[in-house]
């Protein structure tokens, strides 16, 4: 059964899926940051976050109030397109269909793992009926 999009179950599956991608762990071996996701047009849905330390996800769950280095958000329609791969990560960022708060330099420096990370989000069977 697919996890509800942007649920705690979904973000935890994302964290688990991350483990199956050694390439992103290698690319991010010097990277240490937290980031949060939310749905712009669904303020009733709680935000979720990931914490990556030296390439490994060490926290995947509800946004718990700790400092976030990046925040990514957009409306449900754009989330669907990003997760399906219809919009690439770079394109989503450049056209601001994926809203982004945080260091743009870091996003550019780690553009390849950024794209892999969006692919990982799309690999989780998801139920958008929320």
Using CA atoms, how far apart are residues 74 and 70, in angstroms rounded to an integer? 14
The two structure tokens encoding residue 28: 């991010």
Going across the sheet that includes 56-62, the strands are 56-62, 48-53, 32-39, 70-74, 99-101
- The verdict on 90 binding other proteins (CB under 8 A) reads yes
Of the candidate residues 6, 25, 34, 37, the single one contacting other proteins (CB under 8 A): 34
Q: Per CB under 8 A, which of residues 106..125 are in contact with other proteins?
A: 106, 108-112
Residue 59 CB-density burial (10 A; 0-12 exposed, 13-18 middle, 19+ buried): middle
- Asked whether position 57 contacts other proteins by CB under 8 A, the answer is yes
Is 67 a binding residue for other proteins by CB under 8 A? The answer is yes
2 in contact with other proteins (CB under 8 A): no
Least separation in angstroms between residue 88's CB and other proteins is 10
Give me the helices (H) in 1-130, please: 8-18, 22-27, 76-84, 89-94, 104-109, 111-123
Q: Provide, rounded to whole angstroms, the least separation between the CB of residue 76 and other proteins.
A: 20
The contact set with other proteins (CB under 8 A) reads: 7-9, 12-13, 15-16, 27, 30-34, 51, 53-54, 57-61, 64, 66-67, 69, 90, 93-96, 103-106, 108-112
């Amino acid at each position: 059964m697919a996890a509800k999009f942007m649920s705690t179950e979904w973000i935890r599956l994302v964290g688990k899926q991350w483990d199956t991608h050694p390439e992103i762990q290698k690319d991010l071996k010097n990277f240490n940051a937290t980031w949060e996701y939310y749905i712009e047009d669904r303020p009733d849905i709680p935000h979720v976050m990931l914490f990556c330390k030296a390439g490994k996800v060490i926290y995947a769950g509800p946004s718990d109030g700790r400092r976030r280095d990046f925040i990514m958000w957009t409306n449900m329609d754009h989330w669907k397109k990003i997760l399906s791969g219809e919009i690439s990560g770079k394109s989503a960022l450049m056209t601001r269909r994926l809203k982004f708060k945080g260091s743009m330099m870091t996003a550019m420096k780690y553009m390849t793992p950024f794209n892999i990370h969006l692919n990982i989000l799309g690999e989780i069977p998801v139920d958008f009926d929320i």
